[in-house]
Amino acid sequence: MQLDKMDENDWVYHGEGNKNLVVAHLSRVLRLLKYPAEDSENPPQSAEQAFRQIQNIVDFSSNVMSILLGEKFVHSGEVVKLPLEFVRQLSIKVQHERPGWRCDKVIDIYSGCALSLPNLTYPVLHLSTHTPPLCVEIKPKWGFLPSSKHVSKDIKSKVCRFCMYQLYKVATGKWKKRSLYCPLDLFSGNKQRMHFAIRQLIEEPQNNLKIFKGGQCIYSRKDSDDSLDLNSLLHHLRPYFLQGNNRFNCHMTNKAVLNDFIQVLMNALLSSEGREGGPVNDRHAERQSYCDASLFNKERSRQGSQGLPGDSVLSRILQTQMLDMRDIEELYPLYHRVEQHLQDFPKQRARLHIEGPYNKEFLEMLQKCPAEDDGSVEYAATKVGIHQYLITKTAKDCSIMVALVPSSDKEEEDEGPPPFTSLVSILDLDPKPFDSILYQLRLDQTIVSFYLQTRSALPEDSVSSHPTICAAPEKEECTLLFHPV
Statement: residue 72 has pLDDT above 60? yes
pLDDT in tens, 224-256: 667 788 999 999 999 998 855 444 456 778 999
Supply the pLDDT for residue 409: 61
In angstroms, rounded to a whole number, what is the distance separating the alpha carbons of residues 307 and 272? Answer: 13
What sign does the CA torsion over 219, 167, 316, 290 have? negative
Backbone dihedral region for residue 438 (phi beyond 0: left; psi -120 to 50: alpha; all else: beta) = alpha
Range of weakest confidence among 245-259, 439-453, 471-485: 471-485
User: Is 190 domain-assigned?
Assistant: yes
User: Is 465 domain-assigned?
Assistant: no
Q: What is the pTM of this model?
A: 0.87
User: Is 37 domain-assigned?
Assistant: yes
Domain total for the chain?
Answer: 2
Supply the pLDDT for residue 118: 93
Is residue 80 very low, low, confident or very high in pLDDT (cuts 50, 70, 90)?
very high
User: Is 95 domain-assigned?
Assistant: yes
Mean pLDDT for the stretch of residues 390-408? 92
Q: Bridge partners of 137?
A: 210, 401
In angstroms, rounded to a whole number, what is the distance separating the alpha carbons of residues 452 and 292? Answer: 13
Statement: residue 54 has pLDDT above 70? yes
| 27 and 51 in a common domain | yes
What sign does the CA torsion over 222, 139, 391, 72 have? negative
Statement: residue 197 has pLDDT above 50? yes
| 207 and 65 in a common domain | no
| 127 and 76 in a common domain | no
User: Is 360 domain-assigned?
Assistant: yes
Contact 203, 175 (CB under 8 A): no
Question: Of the ranges 78-92, 139-153, 329-343, which is most confident?
Answer: 78-92
| 231 and 368 in a common domain | yes
| 227 and 165 in a common domain | yes
Question: Of the ranges 227-231, 408-412, 436-440, 477-481, which is most confident?
Answer: 436-440
Supply the pLDDT for residue 472: 41
> Element (H or E) spanning 239, and its range?
helix 230-242
| 371 and 223 in a common domain | yes
Single-letter code of the amino acid located at 137:
E
Give the alpha-carbon dihedral of 308, 313, 319, 321, to 10 degrees: -120
| 144 and 99 in a common domain | no
Statement: residue 152 has pLDDT above 70? yes
Is residue 484 very low, low, confident or very high in pLDDT (cuts 50, 70, 90)?
very low
| 413 and 443 in a common domain | yes
First to last CA, the chain: 67
Supply the pLDDT for residue 224: 66
| 193 and 141 in a common domain | yes
CATH assignment of the domain containing 92? 3.30.200.110
| 258 and 232 in a common domain | yes
Statement: residue 319 has pLDDT above 90? yes
Percent of the chain with pLDDT over 90: 53
The total number of residues written for the chain in this structure: 485
pLDDT in tens, 277-291: 444 444 344 446 889
Query: Any idea what DSSP says for residue 390?
Result: H
- Tell me, rounded to whole angstroms, the distance of Cα 136 from its chain centroid: 11
User: Is 379 domain-assigned?
Assistant: yes
Averaged pLDDT of the chain: 84
Supply the pLDDT for residue 23: 95
- Tell me, rounded to whole angstroms, the distance of Cα 226 from its chain centroid: 21
Q: What is the DSSP string of 394-412?
A: HHHS-EEEEEEEE-S---T
| 426 and 318 in a common domain | yes
| 387 and 313 in a common domain | yes
Choose the final residue of a domain: 119, 142, 174: 119
Exposed e or buried b for every residue in 20-45, given b needs 16+ CB within 10 A? bbbbbbeebbbbbbbbeeeeeeebeb
In angstroms, rounded to a whole number, what is the distance separating the alpha carbons of residues 165 and 153? Answer: 15
Mean pLDDT for the stretch of residues 183-192? 94
The residue that leads in pLDDT, 371 or 49, is 49
User: Is 278 domain-assigned?
Assistant: no
Q: Bridge partners of 81?
A: 113
Is residue 125 very low, low, confident or very high in pLDDT (cuts 50, 70, 90)?
low
Choose the final residue of a domain: 81, 96, 119: 119
The residue that leads in pLDDT, 404 or 330, is 404
Choose the final residue of a domain: 119, 147, 173: 119
User: Is 464 domain-assigned?
Assistant: no
Q: What phi, psi does 474 have (nearest 5°)?
A: -60, 150
Q: What residues make up the domain containing 414?
A: 121-269+290-297+304-457
Statement: residue 65 has pLDDT above 80? yes
Is residue 410 very low, low, confident or very high in pLDDT (cuts 50, 70, 90)?
low
Statement: residue 15 has pLDDT above 80? yes
Contact 53, 45 (CB under 8 A): yes
